[in-house]
Amino acid sequence: MSDSEMKRDVNDLVDICHQAQVDNGWWQGVDVFAPFVIPAKLALIHSEVSEALEGDRKDQMDDKLPHRKMVEVELADAVIRIFDLAGAMGMDLGGAMAEKLVFNDSRADHKPANRAKEGGKNY
């Protein structure tokens, strides 16, 4: 996948996730740039990640999609919320992801040899 394909595909998913939330009324009367809206949305993303942690910690199946692991479904919820917020804020999340993956690949502190050194990143 090229960088431009990643940008396009991720931004398509951002549009799909945000439009679904708009259609369901979650943004009715809400200005994303009003005070505390972005922090509240970020807290909701945190809550999905915390649910994923609990699902993984207890090795639970999801209650709404019982054929799937809870950690998988809650990570999906987190991504949906991230994409929704990015859409509401008019972000080019796909472009940022493509650029950040390239940047991360160039980081010396991410290379296994450097991570294995004294003071290197363990995780």
Query: Which residues are at the interface with Mg ion (CB under 5 A)?
Result: 48, 51, 74, 77
Give whichever of 74 and 84 is closer to Mg ion, judged by the CB atom.
74
Smallest separation, CB 62 to Mg ion (Å): 9
Residue with the CB atom nearest Mg ion in the bound state: 77
Give whichever of 77 and 84 is closer to Mg ion, judged by the CB atom.
77
Give 14's contacts (C-beta < 8 A, 6+ positions apart).
83, 86, 87, 91, 93, 94
Smallest separation, CB 46 to Mg ion (Å): 11
Smallest separation, CB 22 to Mg ion (Å): 19
Q: How far apart are CA 94 and CA 51, in angstroms?
A: 25
Q: How far apart are CA 110 and CA 89, in angstroms?
A: 30
Rg over CA atoms, the chain: 17
Smallest separation, CB 76 to Mg ion (Å): 8
User: Which single residue is written with the structure tokens 């994409």?
Assistant: 83
Residue 29 is which amino acid? Answer: G
